[in-house]
Structure 1
Amino acid sequence: MTLSIRNIIPIIKAQFVGTNEIAIIDSVSIDSRSLQNSDSTLFFAIVGPNHDGHLYIAELIENGVLNFVVNYIPKEFDGKANFLIVENTLDALQTFAAVYRSNFDFPIIGITGSNGKTIIKEWLNFLLSPDYNIIRSPKSYNSQVGVPLSVLGINEKHNLGIFEAGISLKNEMEHLQRIIQPTIGILSNIGSAHDEGFHDVGEKIKEKLKLFTSVEVLIMNKNKTIEAFLNPKINTFSWSSDDGKADVFIIAKETSDKTELKITYKKLCFTITIPFNDQASIENAIHCLMVLLYFNYNQEVIQERMLLLFPVEMRLKVKNGSNNTTIIDDSYSSDFQSLKIALDFLESQKQYKKKTLILSDIFQSGLVLEELYSKVSQLIVSNKIHRVIAIGETISSFKNKFPNCLAFDSTQKFIDAIDTISFENETILIKGARHFHFEEIVATLEEKTHETVLEINLNAISHNLNFFKSKLKPETKLMVMVKAFGYGNGGFEVAKLLSHHKVDYLGVAFADEGISLKNAGIDLPIMVLNPENTSFSAIIQHQLEPEIYSIKGLNAFLKIAESKKLQHFPIHIKLDTGMHRLGFEEETIDELITKLKGTKLVEVKSILSHLATSDDMKFVDFTLSQIKLFEKLSSKLMEELQINPIRHILNTSGISNFPQAQYDMVRLGIGLYGISNDDDEQKSLQNVGTLKSIISQIRTIDEGESVGYGRRFMAAKTTKVATIPIGYADGISRHWGNGVGYVVIKNKKAPILGSVCMDMLMVDITEIDCKEGSEVIIFGENPTVNFMAKQLGTIPYEIMTSISQRVKRVFYRE
């Protein structure tokens, strides 16, 4: 894309205010944090319920961005850049993408549905790429913002497009249809995802069908419910396994780990094999098969390519590597658009300043090779990559374009040489096309730990953060608690994401937690809520901010501050309003005021207290009395000391239940991690952590035989038993054993047999078709942490924070 500002003004009906109407634009951005923004970027200042892109214009101008689409021009920047003023920046972005799309006349496949969109897209890309130069949505860019950004990636060399469209509310799809303008439609599975945005399933079906108003054909599973809402003018190409009136009739026959599909289409009757046997994969594969049939591929090509379908990894994963390295695993795709996304993710999650990129040949860019690798070089330079390892014959021939580059013709040649290459104290992005088998590189560089992992969904953390931000007044600041290793979810990685989201403060319990974050490069203000007097020197050294909750603690801190000749060092005053744990009580306020009046060593940055029963509305009067006392005591401090600090008293449940007491800041804790004590609120939160393991061994025992220590389980019949490598040393309560708890294998409950051991537990899999190595879910969507806590008579905090450090954490983004 290369356009001038002058070309864009009439498209989005903008008023131009600036100095250079002929400035050239070659990229579009909505992310102020991207290092790829430049003087040829057009930044759309999108305004949403929890963010406003106008707030980052100063930072962007400082970093060299000169062109903006805005709702208004902030006064201080008038004359400093080119501004295109519109009524609504999101509408302008969508209109720009729609007009840009209209410049291209080739087939566009539009995919929607509740499930399977991304998998169908990726499989179609694999199946059709030998014959087409394809532009497709990167990752899951299927939203009101993601779709226009995807479409703006089209160039003159592409001759087929594949875009997915996702909606969660009524009246969203018409915008995406206008942008994608699909000529071929695919309606995937209709499930329960985003049901809350629609009155009923009929309304959701009607909304999704709006994507196909102008297609030449709609590919779908023949279904009477959907057909009832379908415009009869739309031409369908249908398949079915039970309705002989469908255009294609398919009979599926499962084998051990494959499925044979017998296809009857017109006068053709043939069989193909796909390497899956779960129902979702079979349906997704059939939708891809239908496209091949519609494109008139012969059955030999269909048989050959469908057999080669593969599991699609839709997530960018963050893993611990050997020698103090962090690995970002994106080892299954290599195209220009997804490289840009992966580099942004690298920047948002880097733990070390040194950044290495391991990159394979790049495919389907639509660009000639010289231009492609020149653009890749620009991306690498703008993202400040310290070292590039290029793998592949094509990319190796352009190695001189990359800084500090090592080049290898193949993955195996790199692995053979890996011991001669130093990897330490760096963040490594591993990104390669599937047939390069970069998963072997990940396995080589990854830290070796046991097979139990806690997977942390960074998208879910972002969702939950935005959910609670939506409850706040625009001026209310936000502190997020990352104490106790991020409630068991990981400290640095969560803190890095929160830094990316520009929260105002982080909260930790003890100084060593804050020091670790500072040493890892977190530059947000960090409050230490339970500082010990012995840690004050370290707190000062690492520029942490202590909570002071007693005269004794204040005196100790002032003594050290005086010895270090400090001036106005930030501290936070904790008041006890009824929790009776830590804090200045009402009778000590006068002494506190006297002490603070007599010193310039410290500055009161905030005054806070803690609610004891904000989650239990039976005690609403007590909570209101706490808020009243906080108002009284904090106001007295402010008046006597002539200060205007940040005040904060609300925790997670307080944010929801007592919005009138937001004051200047709130503290978000367990809600960030997807836990609420309110059933309705819980429905709006997303699960963050999923604890997984595998089956180590399977055995069958006879009636009367026992399992585990103390023979606490005695078989009443022949029983199939699986051993799972996770136990109470990993954080699984022994009370969860003996039939109280269960794990999930193949979507079925497997009750725990006998006692939970230190490193293992055993489960009943008599009714489950599984094998050694099969995945096991300990908690996540089912069972939930809330459910486990209720069964064990405890709270979710204890479940989450009990997960041992020896359990590997894997962070990912969809």
Structure 2
Amino acid sequence: MFPAISIDQFAQLLGADLRHRGTCASVQAVVSDSRQALWMQPTAFFALTTQSGDGHAYAVHAAEQGAAALVLSANSPLAASLPTLPEACSVLWVDDPWKALRRLAAHHRSALTGTVVGITGSNGKTTVKEYLFHLLGDARIARSPKSFNSQLGVPLSLLSAPLDAPGMLLEVGVGASGDMGFMAPWVAPNVGIFTHLGDAHAAGFSSREQKAQEKAALFHAADWVVVPAAEPAIRTALTVPARSWSWNEEVGADMIFTWADGTLRWEDQGRSIQGEASCPALDGVDAHNVASALACILYLGWSWNPERLVDVRSAGLRMERLPGISGWTLLNDAYTSDVDALGWALESLAAEAQGPRYAVVAAPPGMADFAPWMDAACAARGIDGWWGVGADLAALGRGYVDVDALKIAAPWNEVERPGVLLLKGPRQARLDRLLPTLQAQHHDTVLGLDLEALAANLRHYKSQLSGQRIMAMVKANAYGLGAVTIAQALAKHHVDYFGVAYVDEGLALRQAGIQTPIMVMNPGEQSVEGMLTHGLEPEIFHFQALERYAQAFLRYPELAVGRVHIKVDTGMHRLGFAPDQGREVGQRLAHWPGLQVASVMTHLSSAEEGSQDAWTAEQGAAYHRFYEDLVMELGYRPIRHLANTPGVVRHPHLHGDMVRLGIGLFGDSPVEADRACLQPVVHVQTRISHLQTIPPGEGVSYGHQDAALHERRVATLPVGYADGFPRALSLGRGEVLIHGQRCKVVGAVCMDMTLVDVTGMTVHVGDSVEILGAQMLLHEFAERCGTISYEVLTRFSERLGRTVWNPQA
């Protein structure tokens, strides 16, 4: 939100033509999503065209939701054919809404009086930003909401900063060459942090050096940039002074961090900055992010609170969706709270579609008039109610004195039907103590899904296409990850089709409210009625199936069209018509005019294998012969789809009209270069249950195996082959990560437990352990298991705890 601007001044700033003047005289905020609460302050809706769709299609909805102004492209046919709008709403025409938004953001940036800290890098931007904000402990500091670092997120973030904020922590992402050129001139950070130069977004650049130069372009006018000393490519790419940091005595670093016995120490080369503070042990990633944030604070000379290092990692925790008791769904964000973060959390709650929506909240420190603020915020977002925690709220009759009192009252039991419950408050309120009471699963080993990473991987594949549609494969319960959760997330990003293996899988999606078209790959003989009544579209691969579906379709005269997908077998030899049967299939279809061929598909058996490219070309040629023969009989051209995940990357000439994405969405690819561009979606973590010392010469686990000549320290983990951690990882073949360090499996993996070697490490019972995630990638885990990524994912047991990170991504 920014200071109110009159409609006339707003039009002038945008270079817009004020086509219609509404009764609302000013604008104070901007959005590009018509589903947001637009009536809380005078808000302008920008109709932006993206890969996901044309914002002009939602302009009328935005006006009906209370938008004060619509910013539309003068070239859009929709802009010229608007119906009568609410009287408050003005209409402005611009040449390009994107340019108009950036122009407004540039004006606001020029008026900011505080220091703008630009944060970019391949990974860690959001975490470093949240660590900075946490360590500063100053609510007046502005920061980017959530992970708003895209071409859209950056201007929206800037526009949210109060003009008198003493500082602005601004994330800036870049996915392809040229992106930063749009943003650097008007973002113009005073100082910067370059967090990391990894493989994320590698597909958008010709080389690692080009990617470093593109990201470094953000800082062309900055005073200096904090960088990790271990990455000289970053320093080479910068045109302004670098201030480098390292852990321990790395040559050439400007600032050195060390940690020992619960104390973090720092000292710069000139010894003008030095100090120490209590700090828990940090693993590799956390240590990197804390150093980036703290080095920036120290070089800026900003006031900060060293005591906040003790729980700094909590600031980087993401909102997670958890299954709750009695049908409730939990949104757990009970680790940090300020007014902005509380507002973002309520937006996430409001976006949930499942049943009534309630919040358990504790007031951010120092916030006055909290109860009236919550009442207004919930009413504006359509949230059904809230329960407060804290002595002040209890004294007002608006809450409970503490978490224990709330547990006893259990007000959620009085709600007529279960829905979604948000937990949001500062860490000292200890709202996380509600989780054992409210959470349905309590296994220490948890499978987490990062929906923000899922969306990033989808965007990556969209960038490889030239307008083709996308079918997301969610068969086998989305490879064991939860088809409803995955489909709901992908539906927000407008995938065109979902693919499932069996009818029951499609019915589950329909029962969850998924309206996207669904193709059933193997519909079976007894399931035709269910497909017809729920709008599922069968894959047809032999004449008997065609006849059976057609006869069933005739029993539903109320259905105007029955959509089918024709499968041709070009060499996979599982299912499909022969390549020379195209004419015959078309002739048979002529008997049933109500049947419409939605698509024609085949399966490339070896798209990832360079040695098999000639065979893939033969498959493509056989497919096209069948397709053209079929079209000759049909008289229209159905959707063509051949390419799977590796086909998208390696065979662009076979993209057709639609591609099918599966494992690539979840962060792995059979193509190595493509794999480097993906983000891990699946994270499996556990905790140390027990520690013991094993004498020299003694084996461990079943069979008394894996003895060593030296004394060992061994940690017991509550995960085994019943959970999806297979016995193939026994005897040192498997590894896990504890505090960023790899630890080998010792002995045999048991049904419910696994032992790992932690000799020489400082670890404690309860410490977190990464089984699969950012450091143990899915591809490596599968190779260690002697299998493929698909099988790894489908093996993970239902008894694992399940959580969803970034549920509104």
Deviates more, 1:450-459 or 1:380-389: 380-389
Task: Compute the displacement of 1:507 (Å).
Answer: 0.8
Name the counterpart of 2:146: 139
Q: Distance in 2 between matches of 1:121 and 1:20?
A: 39
2:328 pairs with 1:330: no
Name the counterpart of 1:390: 388
2:175 pairs with 1:165: no
Name the counterpart of 1:765: 758
Alignment of 1:146-295 (within 5 A): 146-155=153-162, 159-168=165-174, 179=186, 185=191, 187=193, 192=198, 196=202, 204=212, 208=216, 211=219, 213=221, 252=258, 254-255=260-261, 257-259=262-264, 272-276=277-281, 279-280=287-288, 283-284=291-292, 286-287=294-295, 290=298, 294-295=301-302
2:778 pairs with 1:785: yes
2:520 pairs with 1:528: yes
- Secondary structure of 2:278's counterpart equals strand
2:99 pairs with 1:95: no
Residue number among 549, 554, 561 corresponding to 2:546 in the alignment:
554
Task: Classify 1:175/1:408 alpha carbon distance in 2 versus 1 (closer, same or farther; 3 Å).
Answer: farther
| 2:257–2:264 Cα contact (<8 Å) kept | no
Deviates more, 1:525-534 or 1:81-90: 81-90
Q: Output one character per residue of 1:660-705: Cα deviation in whole Å (capped at 9) or x when no partner.
A: 2333222111111122121111111122212222222222223332
Q: Distance in 1 between matches of 2:491 and 2:115?
A: 41
Deviates more, 1:51-60 or 1:456-465: 51-60
Q: Distance in 1 between matches of 2:658 and 2:193?
A: 45
Q: CA RMSD in A?
A: 4.1
* Counterpart AA for 2:278: T
Percent identity, aligned pairs only? 29
Q: Distance in 2 between matches of 1:7 and 1:566?
A: 55
Q: Distance in 1 between matches of 2:125 and 2:77?
A: 44
Task: Classify 1:632/1:72 alpha carbon distance in 2 versus 1 (closer, same or farther; 3 Å).
Answer: farther
Name the counterpart of 2:700: 707
* Counterpart AA for 1:505: Y
Task: Compute the displacement of 1:454 (Å).
Answer: 1.7
Task: Compute the displacement of 1:503 (Å).
Answer: 0.9
Task: Compute the displacement of 1:272 (Å).
Answer: 3.9
TM-score normalised by L of structure 1: 0.85
Q: Distance in 2 between matches of 1:37 and 1:528?
A: 43
Task: Compute the displacement of 1:242 (Å).
Answer: 7.0
* Counterpart AA for 1:546: P
Q: Output one character per residue of 1:251-305: Cα deviation in whole Å (capped at 9) or x when no partner.
A: 85521x34366899999997543445554366257437627x935x6xxx95656
- Secondary structure of 1:755's counterpart equals coil
Task: Compute the displacement of 1:240 (Å).
Answer: 11
* Counterpart AA for 1:273: S
Q: Distance in 2 between matches of 1:772 and 1:477?
A: 49
Q: Output one character per residue of 1:701-760: Cα deviation in whole Å (capped at 9) or x when no partner.
A: 233322222334333433332222222212233222233222222323222223222222
Name the counterpart of 1:14: 16
Q: Distance in 2 between matches of 1:624 and 1:223?
A: 45
Q: Output one character per residue of 1:99-143: Cα deviation in whole Å (capped at 9) or x when no partner.
A: 12444434555556677654554455445556x633322233344
Name the counterpart of 1:355: 357
Name the counterpart of 1:403: none
| 2:199–2:676 Cα contact (<8 Å) kept | no
Task: Compute the displacement of 1:505 (Å).
Answer: 0.8
2:641 pairs with 1:648: yes
- Secondary structure of 2:539's counterpart equals strand
| 1:358–1:391 Cα contact (<8 Å) kept | yes
Task: Compute the displacement of 1:600 (Å).
Answer: 4.8
Task: Compute the displacement of 1:642 (Å).
Answer: 3.5
2:431 pairs with 1:438: yes
Q: Output one character per residue of 1:51-109: Cα deviation in whole Å (capped at 9) or x when no partner.
A: 55445446545656573334444224315275544454333323212312444434555
Task: Compute the displacement of 1:465 (Å).
Answer: 0.7
| 1:205–1:229 Cα contact (<8 Å) kept | yes
Task: Compute the displacement of 1:186 (Å).
Answer: 5.5
Name the counterpart of 1:676: 669
Q: Distance in 2 between matches of 1:251 and 1:19?
A: 58
2:320 pairs with 1:317: yes
| 2:29–2:41 Cα contact (<8 Å) kept | no
Task: Compute the displacement of 1:488 (Å).
Answer: 2.4
Alignment of 1:683-702 (within 5 A): 683-702=676-695
Q: Distance in 2 between matches of 1:385 and 1:24?
A: 27
* Counterpart AA for 1:575: V
Count of residue pairs brought into register by the alignment? 790
| 1:326–1:351 Cα contact (<8 Å) kept | no
- Secondary structure of 2:314's counterpart equals coil
Unaligned runs of 5+ in 1: 400-405
Q: Distance in 2 between matches of 1:781 and 1:172?
A: 25
Name the counterpart of 1:511: 503
Name the counterpart of 2:490: 498
TM-score normalised by L of structure 2: 0.85
2:11 pairs with 1:3: no
Q: Distance in 1 between matches of 2:580 and 2:687?
A: 57
Q: Distance in 2 between matches of 1:194 and 1:66?
A: 39
Task: Classify 1:193/1:274 alpha carbon distance in 2 versus 1 (closer, same or farther; 3 Å).
Answer: farther
Deviates more, 1:678-687 or 1:16-25: 16-25
2:31 pairs with 1:29: yes
2:414 pairs with 1:407: no
Task: Compute the displacement of 1:160 (Å).
Answer: 2.3
Q: Distance in 1 between matches of 2:125 and 2:248?
A: 21
Task: Compute the displacement of 1:167 (Å).
Answer: 4.2
Deviates more, 1:421-430 or 1:321-330: 421-430
| 2:144–2:171 Cα contact (<8 Å) kept | no
Deviates more, 1:306-315 or 1:488-497: 306-315
- Secondary structure of 1:773's counterpart equals coil
| 1:321–1:447 Cα contact (<8 Å) kept | yes
Q: Distance in 2 between matches of 1:530 and 1:570?
A: 15
Q: Output one character per residue of 1:562-617: Cα deviation in whole Å (capped at 9) or x when no partner.
A: 44445323222222233221122356656644543223554333232222222223
Unaligned runs of 5+ in 2: none
| 2:565–2:601 Cα contact (<8 Å) kept | yes
| 2:18–2:91 Cα contact (<8 Å) kept | yes
Name the counterpart of 1:457: 450
Residue number among 442, 455, 468 corresponding to 2:461 in the alignment:
468
Task: Classify 1:707/1:629 alpha carbon distance in 2 versus 1 (closer, same or farther; 3 Å).
Answer: same
Task: Compute the displacement of 1:42 (Å).
Answer: 1.7
| 1:335–1:364 Cα contact (<8 Å) kept | no
Q: Distance in 1 between matches of 2:694 and 2:249?
A: 41
